[in-house]
Structure formats: C-alpha cells, structure tokens
Amino acid sequence: MLAELTRILKRAKFAKAIAASDVGLDGLVLGYAELATLVEPVPIPPTILADPDDDHVLACALAADAELIASGDKHLLGLGAFKDIEIITAAQALERIAK
C-alpha cells in the first residue's frame, strides 16, 4: 500500500502541493508510514474484476477491521461498501472528521 501511495503521489496533479510542503514526497510517505498500522491482508475472493489490484485495498481494510475506506478510485467508490466497510471519498471522510 505504501508503494501504491508513492506511485499516486508522483502524479502531476500533486506536484505543486508536494513541492510547497516542507517534507517532500519521501517525507510524506514516511510520515504516513509512521501513522499506519501494518496488517497482513486477508485472503478475499476476486471482487473488483475491472481492476484486481484494488482488491488489495479491500483485503487490508478487512484485516485492519476498518470502519471505512477513503479513496478517489472509481472502482472502489463504485462498490459503496465491502462487507461492513463503507467506501467514501477523501472529501467525505474529511467532512466526517470535522463534525
């Protein structure tokens, strides 16, 4: 998941924000890693056939007993939920935190 985060943050749309940060890409990923709890993904049946790599997110969330998944991925968001784990956008997650 950390490799995926690094790959996503290298996208052009994040370049300006990362350049403006005091920590840079590596610092952001390392900071996230310090906050994260490592889990061993649990086996799940193929779920997102259009993008099987997304199943790793579901497997990790299930292993972590997550309450929700915050994502911008259209395949994950299209599910709406996996088991009892709600899948929402990052903006929706931030809105909930602000309440």
Interval 56-97: pLDDT, tens: 999 999 999 999 999 999 999 999 999 999 999 999 999 999
Tell me: do 11 and 48 sit in the same domain. Answer: no
d(CA 76, CA 57): 9
> Strand 85-88 relative to strand 68-70: parallel, antiparallel, unpaired?
parallel
Q: How many domains does the chain have?
A: 2
Tell me: do 29 and 49 sit in the same domain. Answer: no
Tell me: do 45 and 18 sit in the same domain. Answer: no
Residue 27's domain comprises: 1-36
Could you tell me if residue 2 is left (phi over 0), alpha (psi between -120 and 50 degrees) or otherwise beta?
alpha
d(CA 33, CA 54): 19
Tell me: do 52 and 23 sit in the same domain. Answer: no
Q: What is the pTM of this model?
A: 0.83
pLDDT digits over 4-40, tens only? 899 999 999 999 999 999 999 999 999 999 999 999 9
Q: How far is CA 71 from the centre of its chain?
A: 5
